């Protein structure tokens, strides 16, 4: 479960998130698809200082990371 928090303060904005990613690679095994899961730690917030935006990723991290990279 992804936990993300945003707060607006008098001197800026705070965005916080957990860092646990879960990956489920799809592997072809003979005539069917099989998959396993593994986890690792990596930031879930992508920041573009040039554009003045921060993007918080969740759910399917492979897709979310791709979309965030395209936006920033």
Q: In a structure prediction context, what are the per-residue pLDDT tens digits for the chain, which is 72 residues long?
A: 777 888 888 988 888 888 888 877 767 666 666 667 778 898 889 988 888 888 888 887 888 888 888 988
Sole residue written with tokens 């005539």 = 31
Structural domain for 52, as ranges: 4-71
Q: pTM of the entire structure?
A: 0.65
Beta-carbon contacts of residue 14 (< 8 Å; ≥ 6 apart): 5, 6, 7
For 71, the 3-state DSSP assignment is: helix
User: What domain count does the chain have?
Assistant: 1
DSSP state of 60: S
Contact 15, 26 (CB under 8 A): no
In the prediction, which pLDDT does 58 show? 84
β-strands 53-56, 32-35: how paired? unpaired
């Amino acid at each position: 479960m992804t936990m993300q928090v945003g707060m607006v303060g008098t001197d800026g904005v705070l965005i916080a998130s957990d860092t646990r990613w879960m990956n489920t690679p799809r592997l072809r095994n003979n005539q069917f698809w099989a998959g396993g899961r593994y986890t690792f730690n990596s930031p879930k917030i992508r920041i573009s200082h040039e554009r003045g935006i921060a993007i918080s990723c969740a759910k399917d991290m492979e897709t979310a990371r791709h979309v965030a990279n395209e936006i920033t």
